[in-house]
Structure 1
């Protein structure tokens, strides 16, 4: 009898159209990244400027959105846009390539999507690696006014890494597990308008911001106020900015891992179905 796909060492690798499948991974990731990078770079800037005291979050948002509408090239050709594109393009590409590698060595269909530890580890490594560089550039660009930029310290880096691990887990590992459950639970009438998989892609990344935002704000405060008077003083600043920053990060994460996740998933699936 022929071995079942992925059943052991005798199974053949699924290398059909492998180069084109990797190209589909790249196209899917780039499509998602270029779509979400403008708004995310604006929101990230507003959060940084609000935390550093440069200007209020709403004022920063209004100013950047006006620039995007009147002079979009200034945003698209800016360093913040490039960093955000690299961040999410690299994260999605890593996750996509891991799915393709898994489908190849286990002889599974090209549309196969994983949800295990390997994807979490690979996606987190890519996201954290690029995000650490992005954060240290952003805090220098949009740090406290009149203060000479200084190196980001290890505690801030560790807090940023913890923040990203929480978001990556909620964005890449939870949706493949939660999607089928929601699809079974939701009625046909609801799923005519929105599928369980789409809901699973949007909800977890947004909800996790309630916990990850204070971690993010603490990392920023350690950089912005190195001489703060103890953890109680820092917690007061975090608590003051928690609500508005959580709202902004939810607005940020919905396009980043909600809209971006859906675009990446659907573009990749459509391309892979043609290559199967």
Structure 2
């Protein structure tokens, strides 16, 4: 070792390193493997806003067929429930207006369905009910498809959030309010010239529909898993928690929505009444029988129709995944 002249021993001189900008191409290539071992490519994050950031792709697989499935499922469910619902709606309207009792109206219309089904299927009430529920199911279905597409989720994905409630309510209320104004004019008080439906009746009909839509589309996906967790395996072999919730939730909400419906009808049928106690007396009188009728109406509408729409759509979507 050589004296450094500073009071210490000078160690072996290290090999001088060439500056990076003076290295030859062959030397850079030789150094690359070592660099890649120190910093693997998968651990180097791209800088924000760089071209290397890749957006998650949409799930557009069989999108056309998926939209066709949404339409076919909605139309099938609506065709199945429209005859019975149109008869029940007519019975409720005629009972509230004093034309006929609910039972007499239902019996007469049901006989017509059995003897001359084409008279019911080709009627305006049938077409309006088909439009109400076909449009509502289709809106809910296409929202699920849009969500699964933009979020890259499976085609069978079903949502239950605010967007679905808002979209389904808008579709249902928009068509249903038009249906109600036609029904009250067709089956209103005898001998009274049909008149425009007033804003208070429209508002009450809208509240009624919001309650039903929330219980039919938003509650079952949330309540179904909770019910399934409480059902034993033997019961789940025959019925799932989702199916039970799909039947129970829309039916139970009729206890609250029926008086709202009756109040709206009474405003139309008796426009000169100003005392709310007089209106409440009529609502209370018809509450029990109308609630029973609306439960019988809502079970096919959002129970049978909801299950048919859900299961048909899921079965077809599973083939398109």
2:198 is equivalent to residue 138 of structure 1: no
From 253, 259, 278, give the equivalent of 1:233.
Answer: 278
Report which of the two has the higher share of helix.
1
Where does structure 1 differ by over 3 angstroms across 4 or more consecutive aligned residues? none
1:9 is displaced (CA, Å) by: 7.9
1:102 — aligned with what?
Answer: 147
Max radius of gyration: which structure?
Answer: 2
Match of 2:209 in 1: 164
Where 1:83 maps in the other structure, the secondary structure is helix
> Which residue in the other structure is 1:270 paired with?
315
What CA RMSD, in Å, does the superposition of the two structures yield over aligned residues?
1.0
Matched, 1:62 2:75: no
* Mapping of residues 29-108 of structure 1, within 5 Å: 29-108=74-153
How far apart in 1 are the matches of 2:237 and 2:104? Answer: 39
Separation in 1 of the partners of 2:160 and 2:240?
19
Distance in 2 between the 1:227 and 1:63 partners? 31
Q: Distance in 2 between matches of 1:99 and 1:213?
A: 29
1:10 positional shift: 1.8
Q: Quote the residue 1:5 is aligned against.
A: none
Do residues 245 (structure 1) and 290 (structure 2) align? Answer: yes
1:22 and 1:9 map into 2 onto residues whose CA distance is 27
SS in 1 for 2:195: coil
Q: In structure 2, what is the equivalent of residue 28 of structure 1?
A: 73
1:146-185 equivalent positions in 2, closer than 5 A: 146-185=191-230
Structure 1: which 5+ residue stretches go unaligned?
2-7
Number of residue pairs the alignment of both structures matches: 270
Name which of 229, 240, 244 aligns with 1:195: 240
Look up the match of 1:217. Answer: 262
- Structure 1 residue 190: Cα displacement: 1.2
Counterpart CA distance in 1 for 2:218 and 2:283 is 28
Shift of 1:173: 0.2
Deviations 1:145-169 (A, max 9, x none): 0000000000000000000000000
SS where residue 87 of structure 1 aligns?
Answer: helix
CA distance in 2, matches of 1:63, 1:229: 34
Could you list the runs of 5+ residues in structure 2 that have no partner in the other structure? 1-41, 43-52
Distance 2:297 2:95 in 1: 15
